[in-house]
Amino acid sequence: MTAGIERLAVYVPAYALPLAELARARGVPPEKMTQGLGVEAMAIAPPCEDVVTMAATAGARLLRAAHVDPETIGMLLVATETGVDNAKPVAIFVHELLGVGRRCRVYELKHACYAGTAGLMTAADWVRAGGGRPRRALVIAADIARYALGSPGEPTQGAGAVAMLVGPEPKALVVDAETATYADNVYDFWRPIGRREALVDGKYSVECYLEALAGAFTAYRAGEQPVLGPGEALSDRLARLLYHTPFPKKAMKAHRRLVEIDWRAAPARWAEVGPVLEGVAAASYRTAVAPGLEAVARVGNTYTASLYLCLASLLEAEGAALAGRRLGLFSYGSGCCAEFFTGTIPAGAAGIGATGVRETLARRTFVDVPTYEQLLHAGEQGGAPPAGFTGDFVFHGVRNDRRLYGDAREAKAA
């Protein structure tokens, strides 16, 4: 049975900090951040916004755009590493805010940035297992990437959510059932209980990422059907390649590693490209990878949502042109778990319309460094939405150890 993504919707907080301004404030040449990372700006959440409100806003916009009754959703999964409670899942708050029916399987997934793909695969398998019974799942990947002020990770922050409607009639991406995975217990990135900001071993994390990519991609390549010819690369069959992208330069490194592995495994191809690998890999990156990175460059790191922000951006920009073409997708979560899979953009992709990327980016307000620092120090205190707030829901705060949420329109009118 076919399963995949019927539609996507993106939500990004209304505030953003240009990285050039952050660099100047930290006494660093701006190009070290903007060119070194490939990021122009990073999204910043105000105190009235948290992972619940972001996830719910993306979900609400998706359901409205797809004209889907929330009561028909049989599974609601939220993938995040920005949980708000050690027992109560983000998903159940979202369930209430969206008005999803009670006959629904609801839970939260966690495995660093990989959790979004864990949710998609779980939902797709659930849809396929339904047989003749129509099933629809709502999968939302949402996160706020935080690092300490002045730390090496500070310029790799960001925030955002991507909601995906998963069902038997995919109009955005038909997800192939065969995938390849890789797992290993490593301390490349982690956030101990009680810590607000994550800890990361940056150089080691890149090494772990690339090793996981090699493991998952090599396994997938070996099982490709029809079998690849002696001079054929798997990437020849893929119109675009999307990677887990905390910042665009990481996707560049990932693609360089992937095509080398792919081309080395095809002796005739390697004889042709091996001597000029760097130039050919760079050209392949510009064609196959760069078109999906525009949103990440303007939003920053969204952890679980990263890969799917790339997909949403690509579909909005090139969905119609890529109809009938196959994509390769690589998901990575520190700790670690990774998965390489493929999917086809169906002929009806042009009919899904906008995913919300351009609209939400166009409505943002850019802040200066002092304002950004005030927002980070304030944390998630809750309260009234500020001027220019674009979300559908707000976090009011904590009362008697209980988190309170509400409709943004009602909060603005109060």
Instruction: Give the relative orientation of helices 248-264 and 202-222 as an angle to the nearest 10 degrees.
Output: 40
227: which DSSP letter? P
| Token pair listed for 97 | 């805010």
Classify burial at 67, counting beta carbons within 10 Å of its beta carbon; exposed 0-12, middle 13-18, buried 19 or more: exposed
| Token pair listed for 103 | 């006959």
SS3 39: coil
- Nearest CA to 202 out of 45, 42, 36 is that of 36
Q: Which residues does residue 108 pair with via DSSP β-bridges, in sequence order?
A: 78
SS3 194: coil
- Examine the residue annotation and report whether 81 is marked as an active-site residue of this protein: yes
- Which one from 108, 244, 310, 380 is the annotated catalytic residue? 244
- Which one from 81, 108, 294, 339 is the annotated catalytic residue? 81
- Which one from 48, 113, 208, 337 is the annotated catalytic residue? 113
In angstroms, what CA-CA distances link 253 with 207, 228, 249, 283?
Answer: 10, 25, 6, 13
In angstroms, what CA-CA distances link 113 with 89, 233, 243, 294, 404?
Answer: 17, 28, 11, 19, 26
Alpha helix ranges (H) inside 17-155: 19-25, 30-37, 51-66, 90-98, 115-128
- Examine the residue annotation and report whether 113 is marked as an active-site residue of this protein: yes
Q: Which residues does residue 143 pair with via DSSP β-bridges, in sequence order?
A: 160
Point out the residues that are catalytic. Answer: 81, 113, 244
